[in-house]
Amino acid sequence: MDRRKFIKTGLAVGAATYAAGSLLESCGNSAAVAPKYQGKRLVLISLDGGHDGLHAIAPKQNDLLAKLRPQIYADTQKQGISMSLAGKSDFLLHRNLKSLMPSLETGEFRVIPNAGLPLNEWNGSHFVSQDFWAMAEYEGNRNPTGVKGTGWVGRLLEKDGMQVSKFQRTAIAMGTLTPLVLQGQRVSGIAWPGLEAAETMKSQVESWLSNMTPIENNAVYQEMADLSMVYQWLNQTSPAPGFPASGLGLQLSHAATLIQQDQPFRVIKCSEGGFDTHSGQLKAHDGSYPKLSESLAAFHKFLKTNNLLEQTLVVIYSEFGRTIYENSALGTEHGTAGPMYVMGGGKALSKFTNTPFVFETEKLTGTDTTDYLKHQIDFRDVFRDIQLNWLGVS
Amino acid sequence: MQTQHLLNRLCFGGRIQDLSNPEAAIWRDPHAAVKQLFAEIPEYQPLKSYSKEFMLDASEFARVEENRKVYPNSFDEITHNWLRHTADSPNPIVEKAALFWMHFIPVIGESELRVKPLLEIYRKNALGKLESLFFDLFLNPNFMNFLTAVNSSKDSPNQNLAREFMELFTLGVNNYTENDVRELARCFAGFVQPDEKIQTLTLNAENQDFGEKTLLGQRKAYDYKEAIQWIIAQPRTSKFIAKRVLRFYLTTEPTEQMIHDCAVVYQDSGHEFSALLEFMCKQAWFYTPKYMGNKVKTPMELLLQFQHQTGLRTYGLMCHWHMQRWLGQQLFNPPSVGGWPDGNQWLNGSVLVSRLTLLSDLLHISNRTLPKNGIAYKTHSWLSNFSLRLFRWNMDAKFNEDEYLDTLEKNGIPEAYWMMGSRFETLQENEKSSLRLREILQHPYYQYC
């Protein structure tokens, strides 16, 4: 939003409240009437910080892992639960992810191993890589590093195929700011700050809304109206049950409620931090994995119980994987490829055939001595496929 | 006009006594104002505690004490002290610069014990040498823990600090190789904290790497100080920081020429921050109309400029805590090591709603307590010492918005904007004044400085 547009559209609000006199003399508020939606949905979950996928699921026997990450791999071998990937039963799942085992076995939770970028495009910075995943642009289209573009979902919001009836903001992020992935050129996704935050703003927002004449394309009005709308939806029922009281658990319980109510969000973005495990990784994951897997399992259960799993596709990813080698602080460094995980019903996941896990390494430069995990799958292709064949937007 | 712009950017807007006195020396010309402001920079002194002085009443004090037991690691009191001190400071150049460093090198605070010395490092070095700032930070347990650099040892050292140091604090992304990251991590190995109670780290020779390292093309047996100096000495560092300074103080789109000129001055001064700031404020481009009134206030600027300009003060510890939270910027709690967003991103999503309603919310609940979340706000001497002149915003109903915006784009902010509409001069009743003030605070113009 540029300054002129903001002042112009915002000014209309100022004028309206001014004309209406005291803000306190307000009465009821009419919520926007939004269309209902029962079609396909995408839930994106980013594991921020660079998640070590090799600690979540690792091959049972691997000499390079034993050599480069002796302590972490010893832990994996000691505590890991036997599981199979693409029909081969020689993998180990981290014990604290065991809540995912049932859906892994039924094929409703699948692993896309070693997703990433070709090494010449890879970047070791969190922020640059997070932007890469959000923009999902092929090299020719991409802005130079440091210049923000638009997110891949944000770009879709302006397309007819993405709208629900005439409703355009069909994406919502759990958080106070709209993340890049939902930012488009003209339209962006809604940011939902949580019930507690919305509660504090409620009375002001409602009095503004009741004093304002709805003005088309008024950014301020729209933010207020949309926030108020989501507040009413999430406040009218008790939160979806069975979710752990963690950051992601709470976000997913809100997502579950919105889906169950047939609200018009085709894309819901959640996130969880704390995966930048430069030190004490065993302890860190022992702390974060139970909450992560229980949140995902609760979401799976909720969707399945309510017959919503078939039309919901959940995609979990991180900006990069971590190094194969461990450091002296029992942590790992910024690496290259890492797994994406998908969760959903059979129809949604049929496109994600069980890709065999290929353990190959490569070096950054000719003189480099460090082994990095080679990427098998370009995440941009995965997102592109979801856009065309799942969301049905071209 | 130009002085107002200078005060907005270099400090937190003018103070009420200056704003209500158009004859004050400071308004005569911006260059004289720059000179005066830099000459009158107060000597460094550690923050004093405001917590008891501004507690609403005994019951709030009891509640804060209770909270302290439940959240022993809370450092709300430290950030509250800084905000209070800054709102009161007659010349907050230093505090604004400290805020720049808190943006530029953001750290998640661990506890009151840890955050207190960390904040003082930012304040003490705010206008001084970059090298001293880094030397102090590298011995601070909170900063080093945040970048997981404590207990890193020479065999496969932790690369977190090394990478972020080059990417975020000095050279900028893509100006170093992955090999530089690994080599710098070797230079930064060896820090330990022998005693949890002592807030200074020491080096353990057993964990240090005394061997030669190849860093940015030069091979040498660097220790951590030499490595910092070598990286700071790269012209890239001056350029990277100059750009961030311009983005923070002036515009999110500085020109290459501006960055270059500032970088040269910064480099030549031996990275003395006050030299860079003073140079920036004396340039003609600093006063280009298109940059005036065109920067989205960060939440801290919004919060502090409001208090600074009105003479109003928040009351009680928890108020600042709530405001930071709802505005989306909590000091010592950045979303990541990359810090907070800047510019238009603050006008995104629900943050915009909080921004537009929060300050007026606070005025609305003046002199009473909002029971739901315990925000308590009390104005002192309320509007009696408050002059609406400071906003100088013409709220005439016949105000022509299009014409106004045209003039604004052509000439920058016209005098009319800064002038008071005559009708406000006659307002006497607190009710009316408070209503007008509320409208000013939630006007879109107030989002910019």
Candidates A13, A227, A328; nearest CB to B350: A227
Please report the residues numbered 289 through 308 in chain B whose beta carbons come closer than 8 angstroms to any beta carbon of chain A: 294
- Residue B371 near chain A (CB below 8 Å): no
Q: What are phi and psi for residue B75, nearest 5 degrees?
A: -125, 25
B360 to A10: CB separation less than 8 angstroms, yes or no: no
Q: What is the pLDDT of residue B370?
A: 29
Which has more confidence, A188 or B72? A188
Cα-based torsion angle of the residue sequence A125, A131, A133, A134 in order, rounded to the nearest 10 degrees:
160
Q: How confident is the model at residue B142 (pLDDT cuts 50, 70, 90)?
A: very high
With CA atoms as reference, report the closest residue to B229 among B257, B262, B200, B187.
B187
If you measure CA to CA, which chain A residue comes closest to B436? A18
- Residue B333 near chain A (CB below 8 Å): no
Contacts of B444 in chain A (CB under 8 A): 6-7, 10-11, 13-14, 220
Contact residues for B322 (Cβ-Cβ < 8 A; gap 6+): A200, B373, B374, B375
Q: How does pLDDT run across B28-71, given as a tens digit for each residue?
A: 888 999 998 999 999 999 998 876 655 545 565 676 677 777 77
- The DSSP bridge pattern shows strands B191-192 and B202-203 to be antiparallel
Please report the residues numbered 76 through 105 in chain A whose beta carbons come closer than 8 angstroms to any beta carbon of chain B: none
- Residue B407 near chain A (CB below 8 Å): no
Identify whether the C-beta of residue A47 lies closer than 8 Å to the C-beta of residue A289: no
- Residue B409 near chain A (CB below 8 Å): yes
Contacts of B409 in chain A (CB under 8 A): 4
Candidates B173, B322, B356; nearest CB to A128: B173
B361 is written with which tokens? 């919310």
Contacts of B361 in chain A (CB under 8 A): 200, 204
Give the integer Cα–Cα distance in Å for A220 and A145. Answer: 31
| ipTM for the complex shown | 0.80
If you measure CA to CA, which chain A residue comes closest to B361? A204
Other Cβ atoms within 10 Å of A95 Cβ, number: 15
Q: Evaluate the CA torsion angle B233, B234, B239, B240 in order and state its sign.
A: negative
Other Cβ atoms within 10 Å of A140 Cβ, number: 5
- Residue B368 near chain A (CB below 8 Å): no
Q: What is the pLDDT of residue B353?
A: 75
Contacts of B104 in chain A (CB under 8 A): none
Query: What is the percent of chain B where pLDDT is above 90?
Result: 49
Mutate to test the interface with A, among B193, B322, B348 (most CBs of A within 10 A): B348
B399 is written with which tokens? 């105000």
If you measure CA to CA, which chain A residue comes closest to B347? A1
Contact residues for B128 (Cβ-Cβ < 8 A; gap 6+): B272, B273, B274
Give the integer Cα–Cα distance in Å for B11 and B36. Answer: 13
- Residue A328 near chain B (CB below 8 Å): yes
Give the integer Cα–Cα distance in Å for A183 and A130. Answer: 14
Contact residues for A355 (Cβ-Cβ < 8 A; gap 6+): A86, A111, A112, A113, A376, A377
Q: Is A207's pLDDT higher than 80? A: no
Give the integer Cα–Cα distance in Å for A367 and B190. Answer: 27
| CA distances for A200 relative to A282, B24, B76, B80, B214, angstroms | 39, 41, 20, 21, 55
Contacts of A126 in chain B (CB under 8 A): 336-338
Residue B336 three-state SS: coil
Residue B219's beta-bridge partner residues? B214
* pTM confidence score: 0.84
Candidates B167, B352, B397; nearest CB to A125: B167
- What DSSP element (H or E) covers B401? helix B401-411
User: What average pLDDT score do residues A214-228 get?
Assistant: 69
Q: Is B428's pLDDT higher than 50? A: no
A333 to B445: CB separation less than 8 angstroms, yes or no: no
Q: Is B179's pLDDT higher than 70? A: yes
Q: What is the pLDDT of residue B382?
A: 26
Q: How does pLDDT run across A294-306, given as a tens digit for each residue?
A: 999 999 999 999 9
B173 to A273: CB separation less than 8 angstroms, yes or no: no
Tell me the one-letter amino acid at B107: V
Mutate to test the interface with B, among A1, A2, A6, A157 (most CBs of B within 10 A): A6
The runs of H, that is alpha helices, within A119-188 are 126-135, 152-157
B117 is written with which tokens? 């010395």
- Residue A52 near chain B (CB below 8 Å): no
Candidates A14, A17, A278; nearest CB to B158: A278
Contacts of B439 in chain A (CB under 8 A): 14, 17-18
Contacts of B397 in chain A (CB under 8 A): 18
If you measure CA to CA, which chain A residue comes closest to B344? A1
| CA distances for A223 relative to A229, B10, B217, angstroms | 10, 32, 51
With CA atoms as reference, report the closest residue to A208 among A25, A33, A8, A5.
A25
With CA atoms as reference, report the closest residue to B445 among B394, B388, B371.
B394
B447 to A6: CB separation less than 8 angstroms, yes or no: yes
- What DSSP element (H or E) covers A324? strand A322-326
Q: Is B437's pLDDT higher than 70? A: no
Residue A153 three-state SS: helix
Tell me the one-letter amino acid at B205: A
B148 to A205: CB separation less than 8 angstroms, yes or no: no
Nearest CA-CA distance, residue B94 and chain A, Å: 29
Number of H helices, E strands in chain B: 22, 6
Q: How confident is the model at residue A343 (pLDDT cuts 50, 70, 90)?
A: very high
| CA distances for B330 relative to A392, B84, B251, B298, angstroms | 40, 15, 22, 11
A22 to B435: CB separation less than 8 angstroms, yes or no: yes
Q: How confident is the model at residue A25 (pLDDT cuts 50, 70, 90)?
A: very low
Contacts of B442 in chain A (CB under 8 A): 14, 17
User: What average pLDDT score do residues B196-220 get?
Assistant: 95
Average pLDDT, chain B: 79
Tell me the one-letter amino acid at A74: A
What is the helix, strand, coil percentage profile of chain B, to 5?
55, 5, 40
- Residue A4 near chain B (CB below 8 Å): yes
- Residue A200 near chain B (CB below 8 Å): yes
Tell me the one-letter amino acid at A130: Q
Q: Is B157's pLDDT higher than 80? A: yes
With CA atoms as reference, report the closest residue to A122 among A388, A364, A381, A369.
A364
Give the integer Cα–Cα distance in Å for B311 and A218. Answer: 33
Identify whether the C-beta of residue A393 lies closer than 8 Å to the C-beta of residue A387: yes
Q: How does pLDDT run across B313-327, given as a tens digit for each residue?
A: 665 666 677 778 778
Other Cβ atoms within 10 Å of A196 Cβ, number: 10
Please report the residues numbered 249 through 278 in chain A whose beta carbons come closer than 8 angstroms to any beta carbon of chain B: 273, 276, 278
Candidates B338, B344, B352; nearest CB to A127: B338
Candidates B337, B352, B438; nearest CB to A220: B352
DSSP string, B261-320: HHHHHHHHTTSBHHHHHHHHHHSGGGG-GGGTT-SBPPHHHHHHHHHHHH-----SHHHH
Which has more confidence, A217 or B274? B274
Query: What is the percent of chain A where pLDDT is above 70?
Result: 85
| CA distances for B77 relative to A82, A375, B51, B70, B367, angstroms | 50, 48, 6, 15, 22
Identify whether the C-beta of residue A355 lies closer than 8 Å to the C-beta of residue A85: no
A200 to B347: CB separation less than 8 angstroms, yes or no: no
